[in-house]
Amino acid sequence: MPLPIITLQNGIKLIHQEINSPIAHFGILVNAGTRDETENKMGLAHFVEHTIFKGTKKRKGYQILKRLENVGGELNACTSKEETYFHASFLSQDYPRVLELLSDIFFNSTFPAKELEKEKDVILEEINYYKDTPSEFIFDEFESVLFYKHPLAMNILGTKKSVKNIGQADIFDFIKRQYTPEHIVLSSVGQIDIHRLQKLCDRYFATHDFHSGTRDRQPFTKYTPQAVRKHKSISQSHIMLGNIAYSIQDDRKNPFLLLTNLLGGQGMSTRLNMAIREKRGLAYSVEANFVPFSDTGLFSIYIGCDHEMIDKCIELTYKELNNLATQKLGTLQLHYAKKQLIGQMAISSESKLNEMLTNGRSALFFDEADTLEEAIQKVEIITAEDILVVANEIFQREQFSTLIYSGRQ
C-alpha cells in the first residue's frame, strides 16, 4: 500500500510512514543544492545548511541545540548536488517539540553575522581536510571533470575564496529563490497517527507564506570525455573512471543499479573486487557507484592501488566492463545478483532514518514512495536483456572520463 502524501495549504508536501517504535525520525527535504548556486558563490547551499542552526528570532544557537538534546534527541543536516536535508531523531512522544523547533529553524533563522564568520573558519578547515584526503577528494574532483563547466561540476564545500565571499544577503536571497513550497517535502517515520501528524504540520508549517521564488536550474546536455592525470606526494595512487548515466526519472536506472552493484557494490565478491583485489592483489580499494540526478546521472569506478599497478588495474576494469556488455548473465548469475541487491535493500530499510530520507526524496521527485515490497518487485522483474542493454549504453570505453592521482611522473 502506497505511503500517504498530503499537501498542506501552502503547498508543502508531507509523507509519513507509521511504525511501531519508540524512536521517530522527521526531516525537511529541499530540492535545492550545489547546482543551484552561481560559481562566485560556490558552497552557498552547504553554508546555509551549516548556519541555519545558529539562531532564530526567538532562540540563540545553544538554545536550539539544547532543545532537542535535553530530551535525548539528535539534530542533523546534509547537502548534496541537488538537495538539502534538515532532520531529527527523537522519541515519538516528542513530535510536537521537534516540529516546533524545526519550523522555527527553517522559517525564522536570522543567520547572525558574527556566527557566519565563525562558521566560515569551520568550513575552511573542512576543505583542508578533504584536500589532505585524496581517497575522498578525488570523488569530488572527478565530478568537476565529468560535468566540466556545468553547475553539477561545482564542489559542495565550495572554495576558500567563494566561502569567504558569502554574506548574509546571499543566504536570504538563496532561500527566497530556492526554498519554495513545490521544492519542499516533510518526511516522517514514527509512531504517530497520520491525522495527528498532519495537525501538527498544519500548525507549524502550513501557515508560513512564501515569496515567489525563481529557479533557473541549468540542464546538463553536453558531455565530452576528459582525461586528467595529476602528480601528488602520496604513497598510493587513486583512480577514477566513469561516464554519465541515467537520471532519477529514467526507468533504466533500476537495471543499471543492479548492474553497478554486481560490478562493484557492497561486499567482497563483486566482479571488480574479485578480478583486481582477490585474484591478483593489485589494489586495496575497489568500488563502483551510480548516482542518479534529476536530469542525468553519474557512474564511477574508484580504485586505490600502487603507482606501478595503475595501467594493469585500468585494463582489468575495462575487461570486466566489456564482459558485462558482451555476455548476457546466466539464469543463476542474475538470480544471485537480484538476491544480493534485495538483501542489501532490506538491511538498509532497518535504518528508519535512511528510510525517512529515502521516502522524502521519492516524494520530492515522484510525488510517491515505494514500499520495500514494491521496490523489491521492481528488482525482480529485471531481465538479463535489460542488463545487457544498459551495459552497452554506459560501458563504452571511448565515452569514459578518467582522473588519476599518481605519486610518480
Radius of gyration for the alpha carbons in the chain, expressed in angstroms and rounded: 22
**C-alpha cell recorded at residue 299:** 557512474
Q: Say which CATH topology domain 227-406 has.
A: Cytochrome Bc1 Complex; Chain A, domain 1 (3.30.830)
Strand order in the sheet with 237-245: 227-231, 401-406, 237-245, 297-305, 283-292
The answer on pLDDT for 213 being more than 70 is: no
The answer on pLDDT for 209 being more than 90 is: no
Coil, helix or strand for 359?
helix
Residue 268's pLDDT is 87
- CA–CA distance, 333 with 78 (Å, rounded to integer): 37
Mean pLDDT of the chain: 94
- CA–CA distance, 97 with 120 (Å, rounded to integer): 30
Cα torsion angle, 51, 56, 61, 66, sign: negative
**C-alpha cell recorded at residue 242:** 566513469
**Does the structural domain 5-204 have CATH classification 2.60.40.10?**
no
- Half-sphere exposure at residue 155, Cβ-oriented, CA atoms within 13 angstroms: 20
Give the residue range(s) of CATH 3.30.830.10 domains in the chain.
5-204, 227-406
Coil, helix or strand for 173?
helix
The answer on pLDDT for 173 being more than 60 is: yes
- Residue-wise pLDDT for 328-364, tens only, equals 999 999 999 999 999 999 999 999 999 999 999 999 9
Global pTM exceeds 0.85: yes
Q: Phi and psi of 55, rounded to 5°?
A: 150, 145
> Which H helix or E strand runs over 243?
strand 237-245
- CA–CA distance, 94 with 183 (Å, rounded to integer): 26
